[in-house]
Amino acid sequence: MNFVIEMRRHLYILMLFAKNSIISQMEYRANFVTGIFVEAAFLVAKLLYVVVVYKTNIHIDGLTPDTILMFMGTHILLTGIYMGLFFNNFQRLTEYVRTGMLDLMIVKPISLQFLVSVRHIEVGMPIPNIIAGSIMVSIGWSASDIPFTLLNILLFIIFIFIATILTYCIMIIPPLLSFWFVNTSAASEISYSVWDANNMPKLIYNKWIQRIGTFIIPVFIVTNYAPLIVLHKLTKVEMVWGILAPLIFFMLIRMLWKQALKYIAVQTCNFGCLRKGEEESL
Amino acid sequence: MKSAIEVRHLVKNFEYYKKEIGMRQSLKNLFFREKLVKEAVNNVSFSIAEGEVVGFLGPNGAGKSTTLKMLSGILHPTSGSVNVFGYTPWERKKQFKQIFSIVMGQKSQLWPDLPAGESIFLNKCIYQVPDADYRRTLDELSELLDVKELLGVQVRRLSFGERMKMELIASLIHKPKLMFLDEPTIGLDIISQRAVRNFLKYYNEQYRATVILTSHYMRDIEDLCPRAILINSGTIVYDGELKKINTHQDEKKLIKLHFSEYTTLELLKEFGDVKEFDGFYAEIEVKKEEVRVSMQHFLYRFPVVDFTIEELTIEEGIAKLYRGSA
Amino acid sequence: MTRNKYVVAFRIGFQSSLEYRFNFFLSLLSAAFPMIVQYYMWTAVYANAGEKDVFGYSYREMIMYTILAAVVSKLVISNIESSIAEDIKSGGLNKYIIQPIYYFGFRISSYIGQRLMYFTISLCIILALTYILNTFYSLKTEEERILIFCLSIILSVILSFLISYAICACAFWLSEISYFFVVTSLLINMMSGGIFPLEIFGERLQQIFRLLPFHYLIYFPVNVLSGKISGHQIWQGIMGQGVWIILLLLICHLVWKRGMKRYLGLGG
């Protein structure tokens, strides 16, 4: 019962965050438009891969370019979801640690991880990716002759949801590192390039890379499992793992989060002062 | 009186890396960095009663903020114990978070692009304040601070003073019985400073809220805090009534003299500490028992046209304590 | 001891690059991922195509291009736009107007300081990779070619700095620029051949790209090293780099002069 009440409270606050974010962003229409513009540019860079796939008429393990397009579409769709829900928050997380804003949030009687993870929702930036991704998935879907049944759609959506949780778990790692290290831009850079590397079906890689990307850093689940399940190419074992993985990795991230919090509570004076001020003066 | 806060032998050490200057050193730092320890708070003990207003004073980096952060649970101490209304702060229990709030003059919890009312409402939801209580508190606080009609204005369009008032409402919407205020009047004009002070005084008296305040403005402390705790280099150098800071030290008075002719500094020095001197005006600190004798000499030997004898200011007393303890 | 101010700027840049050692090592790693994807992608492509050339590249040439381009693009792309734009926006330029130090000189010295480490290490990596690929595919890169590559890569770095410096001047006119540079650097990377060889864009777009300076940044030096470009084309390319450097110096001078006028007009 208590759990249900807490759940509803958090959902309500999440809605407030969303509302506040939208109102805030509407204040800066120019930023809103440039955000869309930037993401569109990144999208163009990704579409170069689509050009190569079609121009070379590549076949991967029986997947035609059309089916591959569906994988790429899933990747781009999730990039959009990531940009919308998490990107802005994760960028700010580093900032909160650096400026000490985290102090003001840590004293609030609500889960701090919840507060910093979803406080700002981005409206403009995800638009190009979500539209392009959806279109690519639809084209790939129909060209691959996948039956358009309710079950298939439901399965696809469930696996997109699983992918969203895993995206959160993977992409929060670099900003979490900023609790320990002052500058983590390189770690973020790596996570972005790992993310971008995920735009091809995992079948093109060798066995070992596939295993690492599925079981250790589960990026491959994000892009591959949703198309694979509607293509009936997901094995039983993979299906079970697909459901377990988000639970396991979310718990791991929860533990890492607690460690990070413990670290700053023990280590820093006021996040900025020792790291920046004192270092300079000493 | 029931005690609200009990602090026993609180210690906080920080580790940091030594940074050396120069090309060779930075290359060396690439592979090896020397670890250093700084004692930010060193064996601090005090207790604060419920409903008390206490001023935390100390120069920059003395350990004021660090102590506040341990009291509010943001930081773990290295050793020692803190009891705040029966809670250990750094366990960060939800019930504990409900009873206090923290206001930092340099950090804002308000969303800059939204009306302040939205941020206050968000806090209402986070602190789970019932609707009726929320409306009553919001009415009362905004009335008192005279910002009722500004609740619908975007925060970034408000003046600094108005913003701080909104900040206060947002942090008090759940009626905390304990408040930590870290430089709440920084950057405000004199009128806003006074408004904030009056409000804090009212809030303390009305709700018997315990308040801990740090500020660089002596007026804040003098107006609000009957009791002061002075911290320097991580240790408490004074804990007691603010007014008695001076009597605590060797008793001195300040004699101010105006001369009609140019006078030399050398002659004045034998009477006491010359604080200020420009040839025609001097301020001299003189021991209380010597005031009479010194005055006779001044009037007799110097072309004095006007004089006053004053108590040392509290600021002067505080500065002395810092110097004494450093 | 007399200290040249440019030397000081160089030192500061160099030290700041060493400051974050953790970052420094990790950023070398991030270049590897696009390489891996493209390696496997091209392997799959050529598995279908058989022995045929794709976009005019043999399998070995394509892999070589992919790997070298990834490292070269890390080495060449400058990333100075945001800090210069910050100087323009926040009034940080003021102190360079008062101090007798040319902003351009200050920037280029601090840039060289910042990138020296990266440059040296990346160059070693490139040479090591070339050696490994050569042994792996039993090819041979003549020493002469390596020397020309080193020359062209130095020219690329200068060219890249100048392009960035010219683009930075946009900050004098545009109000919101932080996003702008993300787009420009992405477009430049694409048009330089940093993602894929320019051949994938088709004949017509390629013709346009050849008129722009960007392909001299990555596409040209990489193909010099891989042997795709040879003979008199090499010297033509080097000449092209030189001509563009002079042109860009001129462009930088002109736009910054106009920009400064505007800056002072607003500031004073």
Write out chain A in H/E/C secondary structure: CHHHHHHHHHHHHHHHHHHHHHHHHHHCHHHHHHHHHHHHHHHHHHHHHHHHHHHHCCCECCECHHHHHHHHHHHHHHHHHHHHHHHHHHHHHHHHHHHCCHHHHHCCCCCHHHHHHHCCCCCCCHHHHHHHHHHHHHHHHHHCCCCCCHHHHHHHHHHHHHHHHHHHHHHCHHHHHCCCCCCCHHHHHHHHHHHHHHHCCHHHCCHHHHHHHHHHCCHHHHHHHHHHHHCCCCCHHHHHHHHHHHHHHHHHHHHHHHHHHHHHHHHCCCCHHHHHHHHHHC
pLDDT at A267: 67
pTM of the model: 0.82
pLDDT 10s digits, C91-149:
777 777 766 567 888 888 888 887 888 788 888 888 888 888 888 877 777 788 889 99
Is A142 an interface residue toward C (CB < 8 Å)?
no
pLDDT 10s digits, B167-218:
999 999 999 999 999 989 888 889 999 999 999 999 999 999 999 999 888 8
Find the domain containing A190 and state its range. 2-271
C25 has a pLDDT exceeding 80: no
pLDDT at B27: 65
A147 has a pLDDT exceeding 50: yes
Buried b / exposed e along A125-147 (16+ C-beta atoms within 10 A) = bbbbbbebbeebbeebbeebebe
Is A91 an interface residue toward C (CB < 8 Å)?
no
Q: How close are the terminal C-alpha atoms of chain A, in Å?
A: 54
Instruction: Please tell me which residue, B1 or C220, carries the higher pLDDT value.
Output: C220
Q: A134 - beta bridge partners?
A: none
**Number of domains composing chain A:** 1
Gap between the Cα atoms of C43 and A272, Å rounded: 49
Q: Which chains touch C (3 or more CB pairs under 8 A)?
A: A, B
ipTM of the complex: 0.83
pLDDT at B25: 65
Task: Tell me what the pLDDT averaged over chain C comes to.
Answer: 83
Q: B258 - beta bridge partners?
A: B281, B306
**How many C-beta neighbours within 10 Å does residue C38 have?**
24
Residue A92 lies in a domain: yes
Question: How close A105 gets to chain B, by Cα (Å)?
Answer: 8
Q: Do A189 and C186 touch (CB under 8 A)?
A: no
CB-CB contact of A152 with A146 (8 Å): yes
Alpha-carbon distances of B285 from B317, B322, B324, rounded to whole Å: 12, 18, 17
pLDDT at C162: 92
**A69: nearest Cα among A175, A186, A200:** A200
Gap between the Cα atoms of A236 and A233, Å rounded: 10
pLDDT at C21: 58
Q: Do B23 and C11 touch (CB under 8 A)?
A: yes
Question: Interface of chain A against chain B, CB under 8 Å?
Answer: 9, 12-13, 16, 20, 23-24, 27-28, 99-101, 103-110, 262, 265-270, 273-275, 278-280, 282
Tell me how far the alpha carbon of residue B271 is from its chain's centroid: 35
The residue type at A104? L
A281 has a pLDDT exceeding 60: no
Gap between the Cα atoms of A96 and A89, Å rounded: 10
**How many C-beta neighbours within 10 Å does residue A228 have?**
24
Gap between the Cα atoms of B75 and C243, Å rounded: 60
Chosen from B17, B20, B26 to mutate, greatest number of chain C CBs within 10 A: B26
pLDDT 10s digits, A16-62:
999 999 998 888 888 888 889 889 999 999 999 999 999 988 888 88
**A270: nearest Cα among C157, B186, B60, C121:** B60
Instruction: Please tell me which residue, C28 or B121, carries the higher pLDDT value.
Output: B121
Q: Do C40 and A200 touch (CB under 8 A)?
A: yes
pLDDT at C22: 61
- Which residues on chain C are in Cβ contact (under 8 Å) with B27? 18
Q: Collect contacts of B241-246 with beta carbons under 8 A, ≥24 apart.
A: B242/B55, B242/B314, B243/B314, B245/B314, B245/B317, B245/B318, B245/B321, B246/B311, B246/B312, B246/B314, B246/B316, B246/B317
Question: What is the average pLDDT across B139-149?
Answer: 93
Q: Do A269 and B17 touch (CB under 8 A)?
A: no
CB-CB contact of B42 with B234 (8 Å): yes
Q: B39 - beta bridge partners?
A: B13
Task: Tell me what the pLDDT averaged over chain B comes to.
Answer: 87
Identify the H or E element spanning C108: helix C103-136
Question: What is the average pLDDT across A269-279?
Answer: 40
pLDDT 10s digits, A179-189:
887 777 778 88
Gap between the Cα atoms of A27 and A68, Å rounded: 40
B248 has a pLDDT exceeding 50: yes
Instruction: Please tell me which residue, B242 or A252, carries the higher pLDDT value.
Output: A252
Domains belonging to chain B, first-starting first, are: 3-246 (3.40.50.300), 249-325 (3.30.70.980)
Nearest-Cα residue of chain C relative to residue A198: C37
The residue type at C248? L
Q: Do C43 and A204 touch (CB under 8 A)?
A: yes
Instruction: Please tell me which residue, B88 or C110, carries the higher pLDDT value.
Output: B88
For residue A126, what are the contacts with CB-CB under 8 A and spacing of at least 6?
A39, A80, A81, A83, A84
For residue A141, what are the contacts with CB-CB under 8 A and spacing of at least 6?
A70, A148, A230
Nearest-Cα residue of chain C relative to residue A28: C176
A270 has a pLDDT exceeding 50: no
C79 has a pLDDT exceeding 80: no
Q: Do B29 and C18 touch (CB under 8 A)?
A: yes
Query: What percent of chain A has a predicted confidence (pLDDT) above 90?
Result: 62
Question: Interface of chain B against chain C, CB under 8 Å?
Answer: 23, 26-27, 29-30
Alpha-carbon distances of A181 from A19, A260, B14, B92, rounded to whole Å: 33, 11, 15, 24
Which pair of tokens denotes residue B70? 């341990």
The residue type at A171? M
C10 has a pLDDT exceeding 90: no
Question: What is the average pLDDT across A241-250?
Answer: 96
- Looking at chain B from residue 72 to 91, which residues have their Cβ under 8 Å from any Cβ of chain A? 72-76, 90
Which pair of tokens denotes residue A51? 């050009």
pLDDT 10s digits, B24-38:
666 666 666 677 788
Task: Tell me the count of B-C CB pairs closer than 8 A.
Answer: 12
CB-CB contact of B268 with B76 (8 Å): no
CB-CB contact of A96 with A271 (8 Å): no
Nearest CB neighbour to B23, from listed C15, C19, C21: C15
Query: What percent of chain C has a predicted confidence (pLDDT) above 70?
Result: 91
Nearest-Cα residue of chain B relative to residue A266: B76
Which pair of tokens denotes residue A279? 């270092």
Residue A242 lies in a domain: yes
pLDDT 10s digits, B30-73:
666 677 788 889 999 999 999 999 999 888 888 888 899 999 99
pLDDT at A273: 43
Q: Do A109 and B69 touch (CB under 8 A)?
A: no
Structural domain boundaries of chain C? 2-260
Give the model's confidence band at A214: pLDDT under 50 very low, under 70 low, under 90 confident, else very high: very high
The residue type at A52? V
**How many C-beta neighbours within 10 Å does residue C258 have?**
13
Nearest CB neighbour to C29, from listed A38, A52, A190: A190
Is B120 an interface residue toward A (CB < 8 Å)?
no
pLDDT at B1: 59
pLDDT 10s digits, B280-303:
898 888 888 888 888 888 888 888
Torsion region of A91: left, alpha or beta (phi above 0 gives left; psi -120 to 50 gives alpha): alpha
Question: How close B18 gets to chain C, by Cα (Å)?
Answer: 12
B231 has a pLDDT exceeding 60: yes
CB-CB contact of B171 with B179 (8 Å): yes
Identify the H or E element spanning C72: helix C59-76
A150 has a pLDDT exceeding 90: yes
For residue A47, what are the contacts with CB-CB under 8 A and spacing of at least 6?
A132
Question: How close B74 gets to chain A, by Cα (Å)?
Answer: 6
